[in-house]
A and B are shown apart, each in its own frame.
Chain A
Amino acid sequence: MPGDPIDSLIASMGQFGSAGRETAESFRKLFGVDRPIAEQFMKYLERLFLHFDLGPSLLYYPKPVAEIIKSRLPWTIGLLGITTVVSWTIGNVLGALVGFSKRRKLNSAILLVSICISRIPYYLLAMILVFTLAYMIPIFPTGHAYGILVRVDWSDINFIANVLKHLVLPSLSIILVSVGGWMVSMRSMLVNILESDFIVFGESKGIKERDLMMEYAFKNALLPQVTGLAMSIGFMMGGSLLTEYVFAYPGIGSAFVEGVTGRDYNVVQGVFLFVIISVLGANLVIDLLYPLIDPRIRMEE
């Protein structure tokens, strides 16, 4: 059943009464899907590059795809922003603690557990969290960004509390999985740095251990982690796609999945293009900002 978008549109219209052949034909004409694929594609490119127009959604016609992205985007940015900042910070701090501490048994136990948790896929952890913390012990809601009966009003403290409560499980599933990776790389970076000559020299010179750790070792280990942040954005985007799907969270990830299942190709292409461009853009920004935090890069230029 490789998809004819009009067929699925007609099928979904069927529930409001009969939609016949003529309706399908006129929709085909309207969306231009009766034309050859190459022509449709050229038309799409023309619209995209000359008018920055991603076309209309087929499922929510006549709503433009750009509008769907715009209305869904804040939820994704909120979810990804919070989880990235929290997991990066916790991971680096924990990794530093483990790297500096001398209790080897405890350290390797902590490392092992976090590596194992970080191997569990986002979506599976999300499903497990829904089952445990939303069904068995019903502390948190099973999904959506806010309750169905709640009035949307960003100046109302109750509404914000409701939104935050709905945010807990989706963020938790991403944070739990990503902390481990940051922790492990931070720790191995520190282990390498602590063996290097300038640390040994600093030690013999009598620099206070605390200063040596924070100013000399930790700061240096943090630099590659910033590059790692850029590298991980694409992965985070992919992860949030499924997390949003599992929690029915109204971000661009679930818009993408809805587009895929409903054969709304304009939405799929639009969101995809948007995600790719923003991931590459984020990488470019981090690349450009990198010399500001690492003077050695500036020297080389």
Chain B
Amino acid sequence: MGSRTTQLLKLFHNKYFLAGFLVMLPLILMALLGPLFVPYAETRVGNNPTDQQPSSRYLLGTDSYGRDVFAVLVHAIGQSFLIGFIAGGISNIIGLVIGLTGAYRGGLFGQVLANFTLVFMVIPTMPILTVFAAYVRLLTIPQMSILIALFSWSWSARTIRAQTLTLKERDFVSLSRMSGTSFFGIVFKEIMPQMLSFIVTSFIGGIGWAMMNEIAIELIGLGPQNVQTLGWMLYWIMQGGAMIKGMWWWIIPPSAVLIASFVGLQFLNIGLDAVFNPRLRR
């Protein structure tokens, strides 16, 4: 256990990981604690005067629909992160199962799974997600996350597959096979722990990817209704013509938060890679 703590500490000595952590921490704190302090009523349409510039009363001004931009932002961050988190998690579990079992079992079964993965890598995600969201229309946040996950597991499956292919020839795997460990025992208890760092990296990447898709779907007015998310903020910015009206206080906050989270997640991954896979040298 001691070595694990030192490894975690080593992560914080890496400047990329530290930078990513310092960017993500305030955002996550804001998402978790912000809603406790900022009343949800401020995010309702028509609650405030419209098009107000930032002031002491409205920290980030109000939008063209009379919502307090700061309040909407605080409530939106958490929901968007939540979708990213659930979808990233589910897609990684799918990718893990398909990548691990396919690569370890090999043969026809492995071939089929490998080609299946390849097909999902090639087909365009966005149009498919849009069509699904358009036909279903009323989505909840968990449904939306599952939908995104179903079409984003292929990259993690491929990474895991490549890792498994190299790991399965190692001695410790043959040893446990000879000592009679079951298929699932070998795959999930012997091989999987060896690539924990890959799983974490691919999970973090998955969060970003899922958020990107989520926001894209909401930008065209689909996805979960009656919730505050960063995607809906962008949607209303487009609908309200904020860019042409020059309402910088409405545009900059969600854009800055989004860029910060995407770049922050990337920095976390660069740091993780540098510490756990020093040979990879990105």
Question: What residues of chain A have their CB less than 8 Å away from a CB belonging to chain B?
Answer: 1-3, 111-112, 115-116, 119-121, 123-124, 127-128, 130-131, 134-136, 142, 184, 188, 191, 230-231, 234-235, 237-239, 241-242, 245-246, 256-257, 260-261, 268-269, 271-272, 275-276, 279-280, 283
Quote the shortest CB–CB distance from A263 to chain B (angstroms).
8
Q: CB < 8 Å: which of A3, A123, A275 contacts B124?
A: A275
Q: Which residues of the other chain, B, contact A234 by a CB distance below 8 angstroms?
A: 122-125
Give Cα distance in the complex from A116 to B131, angstroms: 30
- Which A residue's beta carbon lies closest to that of B258? A124
- Which B residue's beta carbon lies closest to that of A134? B243
Give Cα distance in the complex from A237 to B26, angstroms: 35
Q: Top 9 A-B pairs ranked by shortest CB distance?
A: A238-B126, A234-B124, A2-B137, A119-B262, A260-B134, A131-B243, A238-B124, A237-B124, A121-B212
A131, A191, A268, A276: most-surrounded residue (chain B CB, <10 A): A131
For chain B, what secondary structure do more than half of its interface residues adopt (helix, strand, loop), or is it mixed?
helix
Q: CB < 8 Å: which of B130, B237, B243, B259 contacts A142?
A: B243
Q: Which residues of the other chain, B, contact A261 by a CB distance below 8 angstroms?
A: 220-221
**Are A119 and B263 closer than 8 Å at their CB atoms?**
yes
Contact flag A242-B282 (CB < 8 Å), given A127-B234, A127-B237, A135-B246: no
Quote the shortest CB–CB distance from A187 to chain B (angstroms).
9
Quote the shortest CB–CB distance from A213 to chain B (angstroms).
19
Give Cα distance in the complex from A283 to B215, angstroms: 28
Give Cα distance in the complex from A199 to B135, angstroms: 55
- Which B residue's beta carbon lies closest to that of A119? B262
**Are B282 and A238 closer than 8 Å at their CB atoms?**
no
Q: Which residues of the other chain, B, contact A116 by a CB distance below 8 angstroms?
A: 263, 266
Q: CB < 8 Å: which of A1, A124, A134 contacts B259?
A: A124
Q: CB < 8 Å: which of B216, B222, B265 contacts A242?
A: B216
Which residues 224-282 of B sit at the A interface, judged by CB distance below 8 A? 234, 237-238, 243-244, 246, 248, 251, 255, 258-259, 262-263, 265-266, 270, 281-282
List 20 contacting pairs A-B, 8 Å CB cutoff, sorted by A: A1-B138, A120-B259, A121-B216, A121-B258, A123-B216, A123-B219, A134-B243, A135-B243, A230-B122, A234-B123, A241-B126, A241-B130, A242-B220, A256-B130, A260-B134, A260-B220, A261-B220, A276-B123, A276-B127, A283-B122
Give Cα distance in the complex from A241 to B220, angstroms: 10
**Are B122 and A260 closer than 8 Å at their CB atoms?**
no
Say yes or no for B99: interface residue by CB 8 A criterion.
Answer: no
Contact flag A245-B124 (CB < 8 Å), given A191-B281, A260-B134: no
Q: Which residues of the other chain, A, contact B281 by a CB distance below 8 angstroms?
A: 188, 191
Contact flag A2-B123 (CB < 8 Å), given A123-B216, A127-B243, A257-B220: no
Q: Which residues of the other chain, B, contact A276 by a CB distance below 8 angstroms?
A: 123-124, 127
Quote the shortest CB–CB distance from A258 to chain B (angstroms).
10
Say yes or no for B208: interface residue by CB 8 A criterion.
Answer: yes
**Are B246 and A136 closer than 8 Å at their CB atoms?**
yes
- Which A residue's beta carbon lies closest to that of B231? A123
Q: CB < 8 Å: which of B138, B243, B251, B265 contacts A2?
A: B138
**Are A238 and B131 closer than 8 Å at their CB atoms?**
no
Q: CB < 8 Å: which of A2, A245, A269, A272 contacts B219?
A: A245
**Are A131 and B134 closer than 8 Å at their CB atoms?**
no
Say yes or no for B136: interface residue by CB 8 A criterion.
Answer: yes
Contact flag A3-B123 (CB < 8 Å), given A121-B215, A142-B243: no
Q: CB < 8 Å: which of B122, B248, B270 contacts A280?
A: B122
- Which A residue's beta carbon lies closest to that of B259? A120
Q: Which residues of the other chain, B, contact A191 by a CB distance below 8 angstroms?
A: 281
Say yes or no for B173: interface residue by CB 8 A criterion.
Answer: no
Give Cα distance in the complex from A234 to B128, angstroms: 11
Quote the shortest CB–CB distance from B162 to chain A (angstroms).
14
Q: Which residues of the other chain, A, contact B146 by a CB distance below 8 angstroms?
A: none
Q: CB < 8 Å: which of B121, B131, B212, B246 contacts A268?
A: B131
Q: Which residues of the other chain, B, contact A257 by a CB distance below 8 angstroms?
A: 130, 220
**Are B282 and A130 closer than 8 Å at their CB atoms?**
no
Quote the shortest CB–CB distance from A58 to chain B (angstroms).
14
Q: CB < 8 Å: which of A136, A184, A272, A275 contacts B282?
A: A184
Q: Which residues of the other chain, B, contact A280 by a CB distance below 8 angstroms?
A: 122-123
Q: Which residues of the other chain, B, contact A231 by a CB distance below 8 angstroms?
A: 121-122
Give Cα distance in the complex from A283 to B130, angstroms: 22
- Which B residue's beta carbon lies closest to that of A271? B127
- Which A residue's beta carbon lies closest to that of B135? A2
**Are A256 and B255 closer than 8 Å at their CB atoms?**
no
**Are A142 and B244 closer than 8 Å at their CB atoms?**
yes
**Are B124 and A235 closer than 8 Å at their CB atoms?**
yes
**Are B123 and A120 closer than 8 Å at their CB atoms?**
no
Q: CB < 8 Å: which of A120, A239, A245, A268 contacts B134?
A: A268
Q: Which residues of the other chain, A, contact B259 by a CB distance below 8 angstroms?
A: 120, 124
**Are A245 and B246 closer than 8 Å at their CB atoms?**
no
Given A124-B234, A127-B237, A242-B126, 5 further pairs, Cβ under 8 A = A2-B137, A115-B270, A123-B215, A136-B246, A275-B127
**Are B282 and A111 closer than 8 Å at their CB atoms?**
yes
**Are A260 and B126 closer than 8 Å at their CB atoms?**
no
- Which A residue's beta carbon lies closest to that of B205? A119
